[in-house]
Amino acid sequence: MAEPSTDTSIIRDISLLYELALSAGASLDLRQNCEVFLRMLMARRNLSFAGVWLRNDCLPGREAEGDEEPRATLVYGAPTFRVGTTSLPLAHPQFRLLADGRQGASVAAASDPEGFAALVAERGVEGGVYLLLSLGRLGLLKLYTAFRREPYGERTLHQLRPVIAKFATSLEGCLAYARLRREVQERELAERALRESEEKFRRLIETASDAIFIVDAESRQIVDVNREAEALTGWTRNELTSLDILDLYHAEEQQQLRARFDGFVRGLPRSLRGLCELVHKQGHRVPVELSASTVEVAGRRYALAIMHDVSERLRAEEQRQRLQAQLQQLQRMESLGTLAGGIAHDFNNILGGILGHASLLLRRLPPGDPLRAHAEAIQSTAEHGAQLTQRLLTFARRGAVEAEPVDLNAVVEDTLAIVRRTFPGSIEIEARLAPALPRIEADPAQLRQVVMNLCLNARDAMPHGGRLTVETASVDLAEGGLAGLAPGSYVRLVVADTGIGMDRDTIDRIFEPFFTTKVKEKGTGLGLSIVYGIVNSHGGLVEVESAPGAGARFLVYLPAARATGAPHPEPAAGRAAPAAGGAAAAASPLARAPQARAEQGPRQRILVVDDDAQIRSLLASALDAEGYQVLAAADGLEAVELLERTRAAVDLVVLDMVMPRLDGIATFGRVRALAPHARVVLSSGFSDEVEITRLLDQGADAFVAKPYRMGTLLETVRALLASAAEADGGRPADAAATG
């Protein structure tokens, strides 16, 4: 059918084509470009509607939707109206009309089952014609006019094709621009997300409390670090990022670490954990706890190493172990002290019997008798044994302490004066005494023995000469500073030598009684035990620092004398308080026996209370020989029962302090109640000074330390009974309590 002549009016002249060509591609925005082109086309040729349908796989962002069937979407329609759908499958009839490469088609509106038919019905028009124009691979352009009844002819389609082709090209540009803009936006979003991620990562690692190193797995070069890494190593970030990670370790360890690192980056093992030491920029070592793992970023492997400074933890652990070792040593020495004290107590009883019998022999043998020499030898040997037990008691911290304010510097100077005169000239002696040193509450004689024993030990450790240094200082100890010492002010004595030193095993045993590294003729192994006992009896502590070939340092801590009203550090738990006993008690205030002699009066009655049968028998014999009436009891309970049963009058009681069943303290109270006017002589070789002093304050009259010469005890008995007779004005002996 021939196309009506009026069809030529769609494209009237070249100027219209030119205007349409110019309008195509007027904008890179898809909708705006469609609007400019189609509104011009519609206005010029009285079109009712125009719509652009583009394939989904050509639209930016919808290429990979993976629909079950290919579809096209209405991306622009003018004017706006309601349609049944904005998405059609490519199998729809209007797309089939342009199949087989056809560039355009024109059909009557009645043949369109949906879409524009709604517009026809809505506007009350009848009929109308569609013009379908191909946009190439993009989709199609659909035009509609309600003012025609016949489809457009081929000539009109042919005239529109160049303009539509240019419009299609402009749409390609718009879509390319949309894709580019989308890619740019996505890239900007990705870059922003990356920046935010990097910022978040940077904040995380910068605020981390541990040092973080990022290391290139292939080259081992440090890529990045945080501030803690700078603080840990002393190097700046710029300096660190120019280093191999192995440069942070000591040279002698780098070879081994290189092999471990190479295996680690190959995945054997998958992670690294453990303790190691970095070398600080200043040269000192820093112990760290390392945790490392590998990560792959953009195809490149990195090692992420996190290092935690464990210096404080290790120092605390060392301090804990040192305090634990000190505590164990204190407990061990306490056990040894208890053992030594018990042995000394038994020795004192044995030696008391020997000394007593020797004294009786000497009293009965006339001068010139050849047996006197043997008796004197027995007495001398027993007294030597008594000195040995006194040393054991000193170690066991049971010796008497005559405490008074003492200037430690003066004690050191006096002792060093002797040392300088007697030590070999090959030993250089140096004193470093702190000025204005606080005084300490101590027994001066025992303190001199401490200084001298430590100096003698230093001398023996330097057989070929060396340097002996004695220092004093005032120190304040905080809570937990030294195991066994309460916080407070202390005076420290340090005796150091440059001798052969000691290993750990020797240090652990050095204060044990009879332990010695010297040959038998050179020492007894009690010198340092005595130091330990004396220092501990004064509420102090001895520490030793030594290593083979590095000399030794003995550090003695003694509580500074308290000011008036100021608290004094108490002995630590597990440390026994000083007590009386042994030969030293002869010079102690505890031995307060009257020294006056008196003539013997009527046969006075004496009660001997001692659990040692030999001592009890010997003392009874000696007192009986002196004309006294003697009652004997094997322990405190027997003594109390004897007094209660016999109602005997007792003038004096010789009371042992350490006994089974009822000890001396409890017995004293019972005896005092039963015989209130009887004189009481306390006797022991292993008793607490505090207990003895308390009993003396409560009315006991004297204390005689075991082992004693029989003459010393008899002298004390006579003096007490004489003073009692003078005080009583000849009153008869005390009657036992009645009722």
Q: For residue 583, what pLDDT is reported? A: 37
Complete DSSP assignment for 393-427: HHHTT-S----EEE-HHHHHHHHHHHHHHHS-TTE
Asked if residues 701 and 681 have their Cβ atoms less than 8 Å apart, the reply is: yes
Q: Which two tokens stand for residue 185?
A: 């936006």
- Look at residue 504 and tell me whether its pLDDT is greater than 50: yes
* pLDDT tens profile 263-286: 777 766 667 788 888 899 998 999
Work out the pLDDT band at 7, boundaries 50, 70, 90: very low
Query: For 6-181, CATH number?
Result: 3.30.450.40
d(C-alpha 454, C-alpha 5), whole Å:
137
- Look at residue 191 and tell me whether its pLDDT is greater than 60: yes
Q: For residue 589, what pLDDT is reported? A: 35
d(C-alpha 511, C-alpha 531), whole Å:
8
Asked if residues 388 and 530 have their Cβ atoms less than 8 Å apart, the reply is: no
CATH (one of 2.40.50.320, 1.10.1060.10, 1.10.287.130, 1.10.3720.10) for 318-395: 1.10.287.130
CA distance between the termini of the chain: 161
Give the strand order in the sheet containing 541-546.
427-432, 466-477, 488-497, 552-559, 541-546
For the beta carbon of residue 739, count every other beta carbon within 10 angstroms: 2
Helices (H), 208-300: 227-233, 237-240, 251-265
Q: For residue 11, what pLDDT is reported? A: 44
DSSP state of 714: H
Q: What topology does CATH give the domain 583-738?
A: Rossmann fold (3.40.50)
Q: For residue 607, what pLDDT is reported? A: 92
Q: Which of 293, 306, 302 is nearest to 217 (CA)?
A: 302
C-alpha 291: how far from its chain's center?
A: 19
Amino acid at 455: C
Q: Which residues pair with 278 in a beta bridge?
A: 286
Asked if residues 171 and 54 have their Cβ atoms less than 8 Å apart, the reply is: yes
Where do the domains of the chain lie? 6-181, 208-309, 318-395, 404-559, 583-738
For the beta carbon of residue 249, count every other beta carbon within 10 angstroms: 18
**Three-state DSSP state, 177:** helix
d(C-alpha 100, C-alpha 273), whole Å:
70
Asked if residues 476 and 490 have their Cβ atoms less than 8 Å apart, the reply is: yes
d(C-alpha 272, C-alpha 362), whole Å:
84
- Look at residue 429 and tell me whether its pLDDT is greater than 50: yes
Whether cis (ω within 30° of 0) applies to the bond prior to 89 is: no
- Look at residue 423 and tell me whether its pLDDT is greater than 90: no
Q: For residue 655, what pLDDT is reported? A: 92
For the beta carbon of residue 58, count every other beta carbon within 10 angstroms: 20
Q: Which two tokens stand for residue 244?
A: 């191999």
Whether cis (ω within 30° of 0) applies to the bond prior to 367 is: no
Q: For residue 27, what pLDDT is reported? A: 76
**Three-state DSSP state, 536:** helix
| Contacting residues for 288 by C-beta, under 8 A, at least 6 apart | 211, 232, 275, 276, 277, 278, 307, 308, 309, 310
- Look at residue 345 and tell me whether its pLDDT is greater than 70: no
Q: For residue 1, what pLDDT is reported? A: 40
d(C-alpha 388, C-alpha 519), whole Å:
19
* Alpha-carbon distance values, 124 to 79, 113, 151 (Å): 16, 17, 20
Residue 328 host element (H or E): helix 311-364
Q: For residue 373, what pLDDT is reported? A: 79
Q: What topology does CATH give the domain 208-309?
A: Beta-Lactamase (3.30.450)
- pTM for the full predicted model: 0.42
Q: Which of 608, 703, 616, 710 is nearest to 378 (CA)?
A: 710
* pLDDT tens profile 587-599: 333 344 444 334 4
Q: For residue 599, what pLDDT is reported? A: 45
DSSP state of 133: E
Residue 432 host element (H or E): strand 427-432
d(C-alpha 282, C-alpha 252), whole Å:
18
- Look at residue 712 and tell me whether its pLDDT is greater than 70: yes
Q: For residue 64, what pLDDT is reported? A: 58
Asked if residues 705 and 586 have their Cβ atoms less than 8 Å apart, the reply is: yes
Residue linked to tokens 């102090």? 540
Q: Which two tokens stand for residue 642?
A: 């004897």
* pLDDT tens profile 386-405: 766 665 665 555 455 567 88
Average pLDDT score over residue span 604-615? 88
Q: Which two tokens stand for residue 352?
A: 């008391």
List the single range of 155-169, 203-217, 346-360, 588-602 with lowest mean pLDDT.
588-602
d(C-alpha 612, C-alpha 107), whole Å:
141
Instruction: Please name the CATH architecture into which domain 404-559 falls.
Output: 2-Layer Sandwich (3.30)
**Is it true that 6-181 and 208-309 share their CATH fold?**
yes
For strand 605-609 and strand 652-656, is the pairing parallel, antiparallel, or unpaired?
parallel
d(C-alpha 394, C-alpha 643), whole Å:
36
